[in-house]
Amino acid sequence: MSALAKDKRQPDRSRQPDCSGRTILVRGPAALRGTVQVGGAKNSVLKLMAATLLAEGTYQIANVPQISDVLLMAELLAALGCEVTLPSHHDQEPLMITVPERIASFASHGIADRFRASVALLGPMLARHGEAVVALPGGDDFGARPIDMHLGGLANLGVEVEIIDGCVQARAKKMRGATIRLDFPSVGATENLLMAAVGATGTTVIDNAAREPEVVDLCDFLTKMGARIAGSGTNTLRIEGGNPLSLAPADHSVVGDRIVAATFLAAVGIAGGEVTVKGVNPAHLGVLCGKLRDMGMAMQTTDASITAIVSARLRAAKFSTLPYPGVATDLKPFLVALLATAEGVGSVTENLFAQRFRYVNELRLMGADIRIDTNHVVVEGQDRLQAARVTAHDIRAGAALVIAALGAHGETSVLEAQHIARGYDDFAGQLRSLGAEVRETVVNRR
């Protein structure tokens, strides 16, 4: 275990995520065989960590993935005055967070603007002390990602919000419960407003709320802390808030990462073989699994695992990304990679993020036949892709290039693969454990 320094202005630099340029080298083609364990969901753990700000005391969070975004969030919490002890690699210890009586109200540039999840600090900081200054979020490189629904919902709760010098500055003497109808079931806005609403006086109703398993995980955690939330997992959340807050720390285990699990399913779809993915609830990937079965993938499931068996080339299919329980937008790069080697013409229609297409050019370098028509990607499957030198532009795109390379002839180099480490714990090592020929090299830029 290693503790981030208590001095809020001096987080331990040795624990900073490294900014090394990494390259993952994959020699294909090779079938995959064996078992992989997926960790807790990135998109849940970061919000759970933010939610700890709601009550003073010590928390233990288990099933925390060893990914660089967790390290960034840990640094943000340390900068706000928390003591954060990260589990060292694979020691299965929980993440420990001790939140002080008074937290700082300023999550500044330098860390907060490096990843999207930092915006999740707004709700808990406001609920705790009625003020928050948070640098506007960064994140994956796929176009503008507005936070108008977050800010509009906070305004409904009585929060005054301004954007000054690239920071959201929010203040509320006393938040009042309100009915908030989201234009779209935004995951981030639902979570932020949920965390704010527990500190508002009276009842808040979030209508058209997101229903993703990670939102449910946050509701479970907040409920353990003493929050009163009805409707978890439905489109309408009803929160009985309280000001002053009367929450207490709780222990929790992070829900399994369905996106990482889906990456391995797509990998075996491309490479062939038999892989058991443990640590995921198959119900969280229900629509995807139905589609993969239609494509010819044999599957067996238990409560917490999926075994995928692929003995012949899969058939093409049509996918459409949608809010949960639909196929998650994060899966799109894997699905395009999968269709690039399936038999026939398939498509993926993106309904959430208009510009999530940069990896397509990289897949084309490997010989994939892909056309883009506004938000539709049409893919004509090839017998085999060819190895190439390609670049990872974000977490999922990078992982998609690596799994595509498993089905390509020769050695593919995936440059800028450090993006993958934001969401995957030792992706190269896990693929090696399944028999793939994968190496990782590091070019240190410090």
Binding residues vs ligand UD1 (CB under 6 A): 43, 46, 116-117, 145-150, 184, 186-189, 328-330, 352-353
Give whichever of 44 and 105 is closer to ligand UD1, judged by the CB atom: 44
Q: By beta-carbon distance, which residue lies closest to ligand UD1?
A: 188
Give whichever of 106 and 353 is closer to ligand UD1, judged by the CB atom: 353
Given 7, 91, 113, 140, which residue is catalytic?
Answer: 140
The sign of the dihedral angle between the CA atoms of 55, 95, 71, 401 is: negative
Give whichever of 326 and 410 is closer to ligand UD1, judged by the CB atom: 326
Least Cβ distance, residue 318 to ligand UD1 (angstroms) = 20
Give whichever of 187 and 434 is closer to ligand UD1, judged by the CB atom: 187
Counting Cα atoms < 13 Å in the Cβ hemisphere of 135 gives 13
Least Cβ distance, residue 255 to ligand UD1 (angstroms) = 12
Q: For residues 404 and 366, is the Cβ–Cβ distance under 8 A?
A: yes
Least Cβ distance, residue 352 to ligand UD1 (angstroms) = 5
Least Cβ distance, residue 64 to ligand UD1 (angstroms) = 15
Least Cβ distance, residue 144 to ligand UD1 (angstroms) = 7
Q: Can you tell me the distance from the alpha carbon of 353 to that of 202, in angstroms, rounded to the nearest whole number?
A: 34
Give whichever of 25 and 115 is closer to ligand UD1, judged by the CB atom: 115
Least Cβ distance, residue 40 to ligand UD1 (angstroms) = 13
Least Cβ distance, residue 91 to ligand UD1 (angstroms) = 25
Q: Can you tell me the distance from the alpha carbon of 206 to that of 300, in angstroms, rounded to the nearest whole number?
A: 37
**Residue 303 annotated as catalytic:** no
Give whichever of 193 and 366 is closer to ligand UD1, judged by the CB atom: 193
Give whichever of 94 and 185 is closer to ligand UD1, judged by the CB atom: 185
**Catalytic residue set:** 140
